[in-house]
Amino acid sequence: MMAVSYLLRPTVPETSKRATYESGEVPTGGTRIRFNIQYYMVAMLFLVFDIETVLLFPWAVTYADALGAEEYGLASTLGPMLLFVAILVVGLAWAWRNGAVQWAKSPQQVESEVDRP
């Protein structure tokens, strides 16, 4: 079937098909552009905390009835989710301390980097 389709297909070579972008857009400059890693860090942090929020809603719906039941204690119901949120808060604090959530450097940070030997 591959050979038959090769023989039957039209052979009209178009120069736009061989271009870097088939949309007809003429590329300007080089293809190796440096991106700031900060954009990816913020995107990853957003995904982590967005997924956390998505996981909190089903947990709240599932355990809403369990909080009123006598067979489950408050610690066994809230404990796992509080541990989950605590781990994420520690991760956010670590990311914040390392500057992963800062878009731009403050003037004090720029001055301290200039003063370094």
8: in domain? no
| The two structure tokens encoding residue 6 | 């090769």
Rounded Cα distance between 81 and 93, Å, is 18
| The two structure tokens encoding residue 18 | 């061989």
pLDDT in tens, 12-37: 766 666 666 666 667 677 767 777 77
* Domain enclosing residue 85, as ranges: 35-115
16 in Cβ contact with 24 (< 8 Å):
yes
| The two structure tokens encoding residue 58 | 């089903």
84: in domain? yes
The backbone region for 30, taken as left when phi is positive above 0, alpha when psi lies in -120 to 50, beta otherwise, is beta
pLDDT in tens, 33-55: 777 777 788 888 888 888 888 88
Structural domain total, the chain: 1
For residue 98, the one-letter residue type is N
18: in domain? no
14: in domain? no
pTM exceeds 0.85, yes or no: no
26: in domain? no
The backbone region for 99, taken as left when phi is positive above 0, alpha when psi lies in -120 to 50, beta otherwise, is left
11: in domain? no
